[in-house]
């Protein structure tokens, strides 16, 4: 089992990751109101692609429970959640989570993300996802990052492909989304893919 003492020293504190148009950091208690407002305004936009929202999904208590879970995952080295903020107005735009981190012979994790409707279609998610890759590969020391999306979710497929993820196949009834079990397309990005892409771009 992976223990906190096994974690690289760089992970003992949560980083702030800077990019050209966005920055990423771990969610805090002070983010609740902005998070709830953004999720409320984006509800119709997000619910077709997410697990069913509970009745108390946007309450302060529910948010606090999320934060406790994020901290527990981070300390155990099992998951890493970031909020994405715009650099210009310092506004919350969305989030990225890497969960189900497997160590041992796998060294793998699964990435998921969401973007508020007002910020969609601007390339911010692609930029944010690219920005956390050095952290995931060099600090967390993953070798493979997986992602899954609904076949009809063209924007999500576009994000993954732009960042360099490769489609690997179809998983039948993979996740329960908006109350229904759905097939998902599976994608992955290997550390070697990422390194080769950086060499080509340099």
3-state per-residue secondary structure call for 36-50: HHHHHHCHHHHHHHC
Tell me if 191 is assigned to some domain: no
In CATH, what number is assigned to the domain containing residue 101?
3.40.630.30
Order of strands, sheet of 144-149, starting from the edge strand that comes earlier in the sequence = 17-18, 22-25, 80-86, 92-102, 108-115, 144-149, 180-190, 166-177
Tell me if 102 is assigned to some domain: yes
Tell me if 154 is assigned to some domain: no
pLDDT of the residue at 13: 64
What's the pLDDT tens digit per position in 17-44? 999 999 999 999 999 999 999 999 999 9
**pLDDT > 80? residue 95:** yes
- Give the Å distances, CA to CA, from 84 to 16, 29, 106, 112, 129: 10, 15, 28, 13, 10
Tell me if 170 is assigned to some domain: no
pTM over 0.85: yes
What's the pLDDT tens digit per position in 153-175? 999 999 999 999 999 999 999 99
Burial 138-163 (b: 16+ CB within 10 A, else e): ebbebebbbbbbbeebeebbebbeeb
Tell me if 164 is assigned to some domain: no
Q: Could you list the residue range(s) of the whole structural domain that residue 132 is in?
A: 4-146
Q: What span, in angstroms and rounded, lies between the C-alpha atoms of 148 and 153?
A: 10
Total domains, the chain: 1
- Could you tell me which residues come within 8 angstroms of residue 201 by beta carbon, excluding any fewer than 6 positions away? none
**pLDDT > 50? residue 5:** no
Q: What span, in angstroms and rounded, lies between the C-alpha atoms of 3 and 82?
A: 21
Tell me if 83 is assigned to some domain: yes
Tell me if 91 is assigned to some domain: yes
**pLDDT > 50? residue 4:** no
Tell me if 70 is assigned to some domain: yes
């Amino acid at each position: 089992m992976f223990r906190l003492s096994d974690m690289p020293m760089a992970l003992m504190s949560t980083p702030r990751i800077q990019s050209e148009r966005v920055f990423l950091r771990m969610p805090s208690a002070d983010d609740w109101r902005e998070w709830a407002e953004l999720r409320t305004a984006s509800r119709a936009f997000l619910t077709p692609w997410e697990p069913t929202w509970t009745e108390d999904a946007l309450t302060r208590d529910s948010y606090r429970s999320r934060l406790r879970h994020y901290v527990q995952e981070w300390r155990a080295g099992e998951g890493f959640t970031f909020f994405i903020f715009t650099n210009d107005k310092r506004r919350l735009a969305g989030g990225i989570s890497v969960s189900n981190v497997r160590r041992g012979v796998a060294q793998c994790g699964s990435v998921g993300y969401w973007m508020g409707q007002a910020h969609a279609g601007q390339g911010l998610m692609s930029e944010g996802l690219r920005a956390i890759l050095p952290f995931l590969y060099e600090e967390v020391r993953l070798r493979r990052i997986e992602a899954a999306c609904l076949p009809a979710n063209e924007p999500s497929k576009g994000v993954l492909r732009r960042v360099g993820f490769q489609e690997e196949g179809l998983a039948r009834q993979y996740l329960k989304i908006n109350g229904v079990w759905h097939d998902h397309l599976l994608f992955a990005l290997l550390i070697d893919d990422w390194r080769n892409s950086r060499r080509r771009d340099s």
